[in-house]
Chain A
């Protein structure tokens, strides 16, 4: 057997196994969400796909699913925007201005990113309680920004440091101030990188669980992961169909982002992790 053929067989069997592993749970979620009875696998009841679960979560006002979803989108969106803006400013200074102790700042920020969330959340809970901010968007957004900042900073520093320094000089000579350079040159030139970072920041914020669990109390600010994790249904027994419908719906924005921007996401992640 030729090596090419062997390699092809290896690749095909390996990829099939990989796809099976990656996609089965996901497809399982979708299938259950479309079924009226989640136990159809064991009870020989026939599987009849319907959208009842979806209709329920979107229309039943006591489940508050649309509220959770909206909260998640708003909190993640705001966090990502503020975070990337803050990180861009810092990354600009670190890569292009005479900041003392750049290496120390970057290492320190890296160390910060390794703190366990649990070591912040107790204090944050008290802080937000004292401020009367529990169950508000800002109670989530502000810690989220801080939480995602290290990663964003590292990714952006990596992108910014690839912009040649001569561009800054040219802009300075062309009459730009520091701010103008940032806005007219660095931001547009680094736009793809900034966009990747924005995407990642959004996804990370959307995924966050512990802060949202501690700092919200109900549908006023509770995000979708917490909403789904604490989903008890209306009558005792866990309504798996409904939960999976909610899970599928919550996953849709992330899936769209992932599919459309797959290359950007991979690029951003590898910058943040491997190259620094």
Chain B
């Protein structure tokens, strides 16, 4: 099923109400796509998911399932969640504590009054798929976190929903389990082929899971794109800083033109900026910009020549690589390096690969 959001706006009247407002969001999720909504906590992503599910009404805008509007402010349409045939997995899993695993999974089918044998088959099928067939008689409180999560997913897939909604489903798992489940979720989604909307605050999750990612901040859509698009061509400094790990180095600086080349200053040191970067800004004569350089695009420069003189503040070994925090004048910069001889307090020369740097206009940083 194809999901389309048009100008979704949500305002909360009461100041006591928690949940973030949304401001004119539009995007489309293609049939069978794994779509991730990512943003810092409080950005409104869960509200958005609730609106898709029908748990909340949008103040303005429309939600379309294929060619049918399920919520439209203008047409006065609102289809209740029970008639949308969506399934949702919650952060807390929201298992019914008074029912055993079988009945938890069967719950959505019981409400629709499916016949006994069909119900039994569906429940066992879903439990099989999630590898929890041996737990059917157990109550949720006796399950581990990982098992609960499997039950929640089984409950979601048992009814063959049009749309699969997941609200931070991995955040209550420990690190190892999270990694394993992430892979499994992706495989499961592929095999079911159900359109999936996944909400998370974790950009690594977003990057690894999503066919497409929507980045949201303060209720506004920042960018929609494939993981690589977001990584390579972030639309604004927020997306640039949010996507990618370790996070991008970001500087507010001034772009100047000395007659032959554009250049910027970082911590008092000057670097040249290639023309290709400046072109999107149009007229780049003397203007304030935001410059972003990923740590992986900064390297050591052993010999003299163009580069920045920097002093090492701290070193974080990550295993294969080392994350090095340095100081250039008054600015700090981080870099990924494989050099294990570096020590704190060392003074080195570094070279940011400016061809891979990002330049944003100052206005784009406001949103």
Interface residues of A (CB under 8 A from B): 164, 166-167, 169-177, 180, 184-185, 188-189, 191
Contacts and interface: CB of A to CB of B under 8 A. Distances in A.
B121 to A, nearest CB: 19
Given A173-B82, A177-B82, A164 B92 contact: yes
Interface string B143-174: 00000000000010001000000000000000
Interface in B48-102: 50, 53-55, 80-82, 86-88, 90-92, 94, 96-99
A116 B155 CA distance: 52
Given A166-B91, A180-B111, A172 B96 contact: no
B94 A166 contact: yes
B81 A172 contact: yes
Given A166-B94, A167-B96, A185-B96, A173 B87 contact: yes
Nearest to A177: B82
Interface in B23-53: 50, 53
A172 B53 CA distance: 9
A189 B97 CA distance: 7
Nearest to B152: A170
B90 A174 contact: no
Given A180-B111, A191-B98, 14 more contacts: A164-B94, A166-B91, A167-B94, A169-B50, A170-B94, A171-B96, A173-B54, A173-B55, A173-B87, A174-B107, A174-B155, A177-B82, A184-B111, A185-B96
A164 B91 CA distance: 12
B279 interface: no
A1 to B, nearest CB: 46
A185 B80 CA distance: 18
B150 to A, nearest CB: 15
A189 B54 CA distance: 24
Interface residues of B, number: 24
B92 A172 contact: no
B111 A189 contact: no
B108 interface: yes
Contacts of B96: 167, 170-171, 185, 188-189
A174 B81 CA distance: 8
A3 B81 CA distance: 63
Contacts of B91: 166
B148 to A, nearest CB: 13
Q: Which 10 A-B pairs have the closest CB atoms?
A: A174-B108, A170-B94, A166-B94, A175-B111, A188-B98, A175-B82, A166-B90, A172-B81, A173-B88, A173-B81
A171 B107 CA distance: 8
A169 B90 contact: yes
Q: Give the interface centre of B55, B88, B94, B111 by most chain A CB atoms within 10 Å.
A: B94
Contacts of B82: 172-177
B112 A175 contact: yes
